[in-house]
Amino acid sequence: MTSVTVTLPALPSGWSADKDFKAVGSLSAATQRTIEPVGPHFLAHARRKRHNRTFSEDERIQAQNNVKKTEDDEDDNISEPEDGMLLAREAKDWKSQDHYAVLGLTKYRWRATPEQIKRAHRKKVLRHHPDKKAAMGQSDENDQFFKCIQKATEVLSDPVRRRQFDSVDEAAEVDPPTKKEASKGNFFKLWRRCLEAEARFSKIQPVPMLGDDNSTFEEVDNFYNFWYNFDSWRTFEYLDEDVPDDGESRDQKRHVEKKNANARRKRKTEDTARLRHLVDDLAAQDERIKKFRKAARADKDKKRLEREAEAKRLVEEKEKARLEEEQRKKEAEEAAKADREKSKKAKEAAKNAAKKNKRVLKASVKDVNYFAESGDASAAQIDGVLTDVENIMGKIDAEELASLAERLTAAGKDAAAVKAAWTEEAGKKLKEGEAKFFA
């Protein structure tokens, strides 16, 4: 309270209340009315009178009723039993505390909505606020857990700080099942829980999940491609060593910041390797991959056998074509040989026929005594007749030779007919002056 000294203005000289005061109105007459007490203070008074309570007793009981009413009005899904060890935590160890457990949200954790966090904070405050405890008669001077509640709310209400805490929340992690556990028919159920916990770190949402036995090859292939190239937002700032705030320790501050950055990179690398190893284990236990690989091998073997069969068919066809070509060539050679033999025989036959016909031609003039009219023909006449015969035979071909031989055979020993045949042929084949006897 502050006192202010104010000097009132001085009255005009000669002013008098008796002569200078003038009334401008008057008070009304008193009126008799009935007044009833109302409002929270009267109700509190009536309650105290009715139950014969003191002020402190009534406030304590009312605080207990308000807490119970609030707890009854809230969703039971955010109510959890409080662990004695949790209540005994020191506020200074807030960084190592489970903020979700402090607010009773362990079954929600990173899935808890901002509204659930607000409601959980309100319930905890109504139960653990020092003033509320005092009103309920709980004389506890240690408000460490209340400070833990405030810190948990502060962290989880800030999206950035909450993501940092969720990044290192070990209680939210789900261990992958062992090969023995997964082989008992719980493969998809157990691995799905583990993958859902890991999927919260993906920058890309929604995350393709495991599927089931009926998943296609494309679905399974896309699933493993995504998880082997998992783009995680997970950071590890929450585990950073506190950086000194005093301005005189700049070197120390830079050292701690560098140390924290190196630690985050190391944890990030280790987490990437851990996730890849986890997906390797998943793929090793996934019977669908074995089924797809078996089908792929079967298809590959089928294609290989088809290629081998096709190659064999082509080789066989090529060999068949080669054999057919060889057979064709052989038959052609045999046919050519046969033709040559035939031609040779024909030529020999023609030659023999020509020789025979020539003998017939020569014999034709001999049989008529070289056309001598009486006695033996002279040597000059014989030579002249044979010379013309040789000249004519040299000018005619085999067919003409045969035709002439046929005519001469038909003429027999008719000298006139024989001579006429020779003379006719000489006229056809010999030039003028070449024939001496048959001119």
The whole-angstrom separation of Cα 106 and Cα 80 is 8
CA 433 vs. chain centroid, Å, equals 107
pLDDT beyond 80 at 95: yes
Q: Which residue has the higher pLDDT, 249 or 294?
A: 294
Return the pLDDT at 226.
Answer: 95
Query: What pLDDT, on a 0 to 100 scale, did the predictor assign at position 246?
Result: 64
Contact 154, 117 (CB under 8 A): no
Q: Across all residues in the chain, what is the average pLDDT?
A: 83
Give me the pLDDT at residue 306, please.
92
pLDDT value for 161 = 93
pLDDT tens digits, one per residue of 152-209: 999 999 999 999 999 999 888 899 988 888 777 788 999 999 999 999 999 999 999 8
First to last CA, the chain: 182
Q: How far is Cα 423 from Cα 439, in angstroms, rounded to an integer?
A: 7
* pLDDT surpassing 60 at residue 150: yes
Poorest-pLDDT segment among 202-211, 232-241, 343-352: 343-352
What is the distance between the alpha carbons of residues 165 and 433, in angstroms, rounded to a whole number?
Answer: 139
Residue 360 pLDDT > 70, yes or no? yes
Instruction: State residue 142's pLDDT score.
Output: 60
Question: Is the pLDDT higher at 36 or at 142?
Answer: 36
The band of 79, judged by pLDDT with boundaries at 50, 70 and 90, is low
Which letter, b or e, does each residue of 288-307 get, where b requires 16 or more Cβ atoms within 10 Å of its Cβ? Answer: bbeebeeeeeeeeeeeeeee
Give residue-wise pLDDT tens across range 241-281.
Answer: 887 776 667 888 888 889 999 999 999 999 999 999 999 99
168-172, 293-297, 328-332, 392-396: which has the minimum mean pLDDT?
Answer: 392-396
Does position 313 have pLDDT exceeding 80, yes or no? yes
Please give the angle made by the CA atoms of 231, 237 and 242, to the nearest 5 degrees.
170
Residue 345: pLDDT band by 50, 70, 90 thresholds?
Answer: confident
pLDDT of 139 strictly over 60: no
pLDDT confidence bin for 74, thresholds 50/70/90: low
Question: What confidence category does residue 67 fall into, taking pLDDT thresholds of 50, 70 and 90?
Answer: low
pTM over 0.75: no
Closest CA to 115 of 88, 77, 80: 77
**Which segment of 100-104, 238-242, 416-420 scores lowest on mean pLDDT?**
416-420
Residues in CB range of 174: below 8 A, 6 or more apart: 193, 194, 196, 197
Confidence of residue 11 (pLDDT cuts 50, 70, 90): confident
Is the pLDDT at 137 greater than 60, yes or no? no
| Backbone dihedral region for residue 275 (phi beyond 0: left; psi -120 to 50: alpha; all else: beta) | alpha
Let me know: does 236 contact 263? Beta carbons within 8 Å: yes
The pLDDT of 313-322, averaged and rounded, is 92
What pLDDT is attached to residue 8?
A: 73
Angle at alpha carbon of residue 151, lines to 147 and 155, rounded to 5°: 170
Model pLDDT for residues 25-57, shown as the tens digit of each residue? 777 888 888 776 677 778 888 888 888 888 777
Q: Categorize the per-residue pLDDT at 132 as very low, low, confident or very high, splitting at 50, 70 and 90.
A: low
Percent of the chain exceeding pLDDT 70 equals 90
The count of residues in the chain is 439
Greatest mean pLDDT among 50-59, 238-247, 313-322, 430-439 lies in 313-322
Range scoring the smallest mean pLDDT among 100-109, 263-272, 400-409: 400-409
